[in-house]
């Protein structure tokens, strides 16, 4: 707009100015290529004045299952799922903003676990879909994200949405993300001791909104909920063994079934003659986590935000409401695990893995990270109607790198 056209600007408060209402709106498109599904997040921002940060106005969210890694041998078909989601953005973003709206896809643990060759073939096909779209395709727009970024960016999202990254008196909260194939823990250490006791690769400095945050973060590959099922069954990295039956005391006695994960088929079942229930199951699961994770002393007493599969399993067992979320203690997961595992017939209609999943979550929190029984977990899916996902943090980071924000 020329100055002449904008002369009336000064007569209106910024947010009521008829031109401002649309002119300073912009969009960012972030794809989350997770191990169990692919999701699109279309964020709307409004720049109310040049000296302030843009404000997040809303989000459009859609997802498809399975994830890209399920198309390891059909990369074109995988990219087709991305294209269908991207078509939503064509409808959501006004045409005159298409060529300034960036589109980025970041893949997480599902692709990290594939062979380099198969992962790259998938990413290449997705890149072609992006290039053929009318959107802005930045350099490196399609990639596998480093695990430490996954944790940091989720931490940024949650603390931004809860208002902890602006103004004084920042009381940031730690975050726990439990995906299908990997799990992340991230927090801002308060004690000098934590920095001293922590291995260097668990600490990362990150700059966002003109502040530097020195965070504790780690992504444990193979410790996501679905990878943990395979590990418990003894089937992780056992692709070669075809048709073998994997049994566990965490599954209903009579169960025999098949399961596809990461493009591989597994046969699994219950302990027909042997033991079942919480006690033997906990011992099985313990083998997967015990001694495998770093336990920072500082977290034992502090509360954390938890989402993804922590949230889903808490909903499945009525520990929290699907819409509201809620606050739980670590021991609530243990109580539920016992209830489900010791009455497996009663829960048969839900997932046959419910007992194993709850027991794994219990073991991961207690024996893995070293949380206390009474550690508080704030279970959240959305804050102010925005999904708690690393994708928002990643979009801020993207806007920053494009010079659209600082």
Ligand X SMILES: O=c1[nH]cnc2c1ncn2[C@@H]1O[C@H](COP(=O)(O)OP(=O)(O)O)[C@@H](O)[C@H]1O
DSSP state of 14: G
> Does the annotation mark 150 as catalytic?
yes
184 known member of a binding site: yes
Residue 146 lies near ligand X (rule: CB under 6 A): no
DSSP annotation of 296: -
CB atoms within 10 A of CB 257: 12
CB 203 within 8 A of CB 195: yes
**Residue 197 in contact with residue 297, Cβ under 8 Å?**
yes
* Single residue of 34, 151, 296, 325 touching Ca ion by CB under 5 A: 34
Determine if residue 349 is labeled as part of a ligand binding site: no
Rule CB under 6 A: is residue 181 a binding residue for ligand X? yes
Q: Binders of ligand X among 13-52, rule CB under 6 A?
A: 32, 34-37, 39
d(CA 347, CA 158): 33
359 burial via Cβ count (<10 Å: 0-12, 13-18, 19+): buried
Span from 5-13, 152-160, 178-186, 268-276 in contact with Ca ion (CB under 5 A): 178-186
Show the binding pattern over residues 206-235: x = contacts ligand X (CB under 6 A), - = does not.
------------------x-----------
CA-CA distance, 153 to 156, in Å (whole number)? 5
222 is in an annotated binding site: no
Question: Counting contacts by CB under 6 A, is residue 110 touching ligand X?
Answer: yes
Nearer CB in complex with ligand X: 189/222: 222
Task: Mark residues 282-311: x for contact with ligand X by CB under 6 A, - for none.
Answer: -------------------------xxx--
Interface with ligand X includes 325 (CB under 6 A)? Answer: no
Q: Which is nearer to ligand X, 159 or 271 (CB)?
A: 159
Q: Is 75 in the site for ligand X (CB under 6 A)?
A: no
Q: Annotated binding residue at 182?
A: yes
Binding-site size for ligand X (CB under 6 A) equals 23
Return the range that interacts with Ca ion (CB under 5 A); candidates 26-34, 69-77, 256-264, 360-368. 26-34
Residues 144, 236: Cα–Cα separation, whole Å: 21
- Going by C-alpha positions, the residue among 265, 268, 243, 240 that lies closest to residue 254 is 268
Of 51 and 323, which has the nearer Cβ to ligand X? Answer: 323
Q: Which residues contact 190 (CB under 8 A, 6 or more apart)?
A: 298
Closest listed residue to residue 376, CA positions, set 304, 295, 317, 276: 304
The nearer residue to Ca ion, 68 or 355, going by C-beta atoms, is 68
Is position 148 an interface residue for ligand X (rule: CB under 6 A)? no
The pair of structure tokens assigned to 392 is 């928002």
Residue 387: contacted member of Ca ion, ligand X, none (CB under 5 to 8 Å, by partner type): ligand X
User: Which residue in the list 5, 55, 128, 150 is annotated as catalytic?
Assistant: 150
Is 115 annotated to bind a ligand? Reply is no
DSSP structure string for 360-387: HHHHIIIIIS---TT-EEEE-SEETTEE
- Phi/psi at 140 (nearest 5 deg)? 60, 35
Q: Are 37 and 63 in contact (CB under 8 A)?
A: yes
Binding residues for ATP: 180-184
Q: Kindly list the residues in this chain that would bind Ca ion in the complex (CB under 5 A).
A: 34, 179
Q: Kindly list the residues in this chain that would bind ligand X in the complex (CB under 6 A).
A: 32, 34-37, 39, 67, 108-110, 179-182, 224, 307-309, 312, 381, 387-389
Which residues are known catalytic residues?
Answer: 150
């Amino acid at each position: 707009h020329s100055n002449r056209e904008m002369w009336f600007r000064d007569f209106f408060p910024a947010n009521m100015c008829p031109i401002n209402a649309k002119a300073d709106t912009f969009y960012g498109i972030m794809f989350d290529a997770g191990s169990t599904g692919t999701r699109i997040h279309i964020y709307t921002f409004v720049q109310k004045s040049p000296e302030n940060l843009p404000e997040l106005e809303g989000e459009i969210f859609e997802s498809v299952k399975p994830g890209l890694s399920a198309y390891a041998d059909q990369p074109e078909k995988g990219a087709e799922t991305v294209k269908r989601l991207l078509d939503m953005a064509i409808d959501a973003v006004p045409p005159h903003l298409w060529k300034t709206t960036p589109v980025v896809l970041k893949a997480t643990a599902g692709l990290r676990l594939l062979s380099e060759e198969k992962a790259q073939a998938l990413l290449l096909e997705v890149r072609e879909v992006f290039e053929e779209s009318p959107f802005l395709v930045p350099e490196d727009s399609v990639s596998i994200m480093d695990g430490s970024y996954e944790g940091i960016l989720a931490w940024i999202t949650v603390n931004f949405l809860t208002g902890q990254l602006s103004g004084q008196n920042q009381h940031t909260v730690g975050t726990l993300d439990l995906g299908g194939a990997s799990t992340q823990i991230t927090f801002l250490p308060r004690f000098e001791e934590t920095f001293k006791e922590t291995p260097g690769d668990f600490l990362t400095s990150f700059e966002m909104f003109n502040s530097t945050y020195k965070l504790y973060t780690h992504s444990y590959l193979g410790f996501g909920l679905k990878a943990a099922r395979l590990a418990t069954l003894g089937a992780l990295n056992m692709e070669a063994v075809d048709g073998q039956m994997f049994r566990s005391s965490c599954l209903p006695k009579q169960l025999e079934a098949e399961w596809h994960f990461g493009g591989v088929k597994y046969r699994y079942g219950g302990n027909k003659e042997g033991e079942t229930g919480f006690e033997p199951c906990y011992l099985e699961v313990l083998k997967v986590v015990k001694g495998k994770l770093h336990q920072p002393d500082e977290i034992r007493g502090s509360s954390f935000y938890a989402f993804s599969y922590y949230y889903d399993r808490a909903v499945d067992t009525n520990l929290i409401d699907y819409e509201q979320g809620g606050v739980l203690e670590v021991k609530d997961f243990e109580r539920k695990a016992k209830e489900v595992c010791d009455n497996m017939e009663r829960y048969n209609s839900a997932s046959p893995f419910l007992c194993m999943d709850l027991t794994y979550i219990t073991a991961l929190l207690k024996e893995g990270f070293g949380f206390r029984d009474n550690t508080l977990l704030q279970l959240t899916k959305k804050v102010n109607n925005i999904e708690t996902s690393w994708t928002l943090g990643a979009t801020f980071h993207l806007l920053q790198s494009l010079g659209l924000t600082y």
